[in-house]
Amino acid sequence: MLIRKMCGMNLFLDEEKVTPRQTILDNVSLFTEKIPDKISKIVINHGHELLSKLG
């Protein structure tokens, strides 16, 4: 959902709203190489927290 939000896209897949192509291109250009690493670290940390609570 974060990536959809960064791209200027509706989070709830509202088919009535059309996001202009230029908006998507502009926002995707802001996506740096560091962002996927940050996302992965956040997801892994939350997964570890969940596992520690379960077991």
Check pLDDT > 70 for residue 14: no
Share of the chain above pLDDT 90, in %: 29
Check pLDDT > 80 for residue 2: no
> If you count them, how many residues does the chain have?
55
Which is more confident, 19 or 42? Answer: 42
pTM of the predicted structure, to 2 decimals:
0.51
**pLDDT one-digit tens code per residue, 28-48:** 888 888 988 998 999 999 999
Cα separations (Å) of 39 from 4, 15, 18, 20, 31? 14, 27, 27, 26, 12
pLDDT for residue 3: 67
Number of domains in the chain: 1
Cβ count near 24 (within 10 Å): 14
Domain enclosing residue 37, as ranges: 2-11+18-54
CA 22 to chain centroid: 19
Instruction: Report the alpha-carbon angle 32-45-40, nearest 5.
Output: 25
